[in-house]
Amino acid sequence: MDATNTQPTAEPDAPACPQCGYLLIGLNALARCPECGQPLAADLSQYRPSRTATPWSRGHQPLQFFQGLARSMLHPVRTADLCRGPAQVTAGGALIFAMVCTCAIIVLWPLIKEAGIQIAGGIAGDPKMIFADRFGVFQRAAVRWVVWKINCGWEAWSILHLWLLFVVLALVFHRRRSDDHGGLLRRLMLFSPWIAILEVGYLVGVSFAVPNVVPEPSTIFAMWPESLTDVWTDKVWLIRAIIPTFIVSLIFARAVLGWRPWLAVLFAAILAPVAMFLTMLWSLLFMHSGVLDLLYR
């Protein structure tokens, strides 16, 4: 049997190349992967899925979640590459990771916003924004149900549009490579911290653009309908949205779509103004589609 041309899949724990996932079956000690050229150790058994566990392949303990979070934030492209081996990133592990990231940002939003206001007030030196009793501010934010309802409701609404945007972009721009759509979706799930970071980026941007303003209910700075035509010339929106959208779009193109750097830069440059417009439209819909009224009820 010619093991370099056929890829038998009978053995579930067969050693696989850590770079490209090529099954290293029927091969003795190799200096490099025959498929991608990745240098390999002499003992191929260490490339068995059972021995190359990741935070997304083992049980779901809190410590592993934070390890996974750190890895996907520090090395988004390398993290996404793990999805080539299904044993290294299981569908369940990736889904739980994405759900925890998304739910955490929604639940913590009132506190993130409160912390942002305090920091921005401190930088701006605006005494009206810096409350003497800082702990009391957090305590009030923590115990007031209406504060949670409106802020968490806003964030759930807001992050939904980013998920919809990136799912659609992933399905439209995905080019079939060595992996299937399952691999694409797992890479998208591992990208979820960056979707949360983009939400925080829009909030932080408000403090840079207008430091002495309290964002209510969160990050809406738009008027219906004139803001839709002004969005690309509005100073506040350009400051708060263009840089975070560009960075996160770039990482999306590199990690989830697996594109080359120059193509990813081009993609991010085109997507940033489009995403900024969609974010403003979605913010206006929050106020004008009845969602806000529903939360105040």
* Residue 51 C-beta: closest distance to Zn ion, Å: 17
Residue 27 or 287 with smaller CB distance to Zn ion? 27
Contact positions with Zn ion (CB under 5 A) in 151-210? none
Contact positions with Zn ion (CB under 5 A) in 77-106? none
* Residue 121 C-beta: closest distance to Zn ion, Å: 52
Encoded one letter per residue, x for contact with Zn ion by CB under 5 A and - for no contact, window 1-40 reads ----------------x-xx-x----------x-xx-x--
Tokens at residue 229, please? Answer: 């035509």
* Residue 47 C-beta: closest distance to Zn ion, Å: 10
Instruction: Show Cβ contacts of residue 181 under 8 Å, excluding neighbours closer than 6 positions.
Output: 171, 174
* Residue 15 C-beta: closest distance to Zn ion, Å: 11
- Whether the ω angle into residue 127 lies within 30 degrees of 0, i.e. cis, is no
For Zn ion (CB under 5 A), the number of binding residues is 8
Residue 35 or 179 with smaller CB distance to Zn ion? 35
Quick one: 173 exposed, middle or buried, by C-beta within 10 A (0-12, 13-18, 19+)? middle
Backbone angles phi and psi of 16, in degrees to 5:
-130, 150
Residue 19 or 54 with smaller CB distance to Zn ion? 19
- Whether the ω angle into residue 12 lies within 30 degrees of 0, i.e. cis, is no
* Residue 4 C-beta: closest distance to Zn ion, Å: 12
Q: How far apart are CA 251 and CA 2, in angstroms?
A: 39
* Residue 24 C-beta: closest distance to Zn ion, Å: 9
Instruction: Show Cβ contacts of residue 80 under 8 Å, excluding neighbours closer than 6 positions.
Output: 187, 190, 191, 255, 256, 258
Residue 38 or 90 with smaller CB distance to Zn ion? 38
Q: How far apart are CA 55 and CA 50, in angstroms?
A: 13
* Residue 36 C-beta: closest distance to Zn ion, Å: 3
Tokens at residue 33, please? Answer: 């992967």
Residue 17 or 253 with smaller CB distance to Zn ion? 17
Q: Whose CA is closest to 150, among 240, 207, 219?
A: 219
Residue 33 or 198 with smaller CB distance to Zn ion? 33
Q: Whose CA is closest to 183, among 29, 13, 25, 20?
A: 20
* Residue 26 C-beta: closest distance to Zn ion, Å: 15
Q: How far apart are CA 227 and CA 161, in angstroms?
A: 18
Q: Whose CA is closest to 280, among 234, 249, 217?
A: 234
Residue 24 or 204 with smaller CB distance to Zn ion? 24
Q: How far apart are CA 131 and CA 69, in angstroms?
A: 33
Residue 87 or 198 with smaller CB distance to Zn ion? 87
Inter-residue contact 91 to 97 (CB < 8 Å): no
Q: Which residues bind Zn ion (CB under 5 A)?
A: 17, 19-20, 22, 33, 35-36, 38
